[in-house]
Homo-oligomer: A and B are copies of this chain.
Amino acid sequence: MAADNQQERLEPTWVVGFADGESCFHVSINRQPRMATGWQVLPEFRVVQSDKDEAILNRLQQFFNAGSVVVNHDTRKELRIRKLDDLKRVVAFFQEHPLQTKKRNDFQIFSEILKLIESKEHLTQEGLTKIARLCWKMNRKVKPKYLESSETIRQKSQSSSD
């Protein structure tokens, strides 16, 4: 790791350390009327930095050879990786080079969800429910809107059939 060459390839173990601190494995489930289920599953891997540290996001982008560096909010930028094939490589990387913090739990759930998407389970109501329950265990543990919604629907249909 040379001190003076900003463009040198990052070391895998450095990437793990930085990701343990700064990255986010995130899955959102958004309303999307064009999908058969009415919902779209959007997994992403994100690293957010203030724009003065955009250089490190570009180096991470080169490291994974994936994603793009975009505006996050105000003076913050993010590296955002969303393509399924790219995410599969990111997951393979962190399987080979394990995270050391509790973020490993999020990562494990994230890779489970990716497998479900790969086997097209996100296109069925049952698969979506499975994914939404996994999402709920991740990150800030906010109940996905999808679950609120599907449970509301279920309760309504139950009460109307009473």
Interfacial residues, chain A to chain B (CB-CB below 8 A): 1-3, 6, 10-11, 13-22, 49, 52-53, 55-56, 59, 97-98, 100-102, 104
Q: Which residues of B contact A21 (CB under 8 A)?
A: 17-18, 20-22
CB nearest neighbor in B for A59: B100
Q: Which residues of B contact A104 (CB under 8 A)?
A: 3
Nearest-Cβ distance from residue A156 to partner chain B, whole angstroms: 37
**Do B102 and A52 touch across chains, with their CB atoms under 8 A apart?**
yes
Bound: A16/B11 CA distance, A: 10
Bound: A1/B19 CA distance, A: 15
CB nearest neighbor in B for A13: B13
Nearest-Cβ distance from residue A11 to partner chain B, whole angstroms: 5
Q: Which residues of B contact A101 (CB under 8 A)?
A: 49, 53, 55-56
Bound: A16/B104 CA distance, A: 19
Q: Which residues of B contact A16 (CB under 8 A)?
A: 1, 14, 17
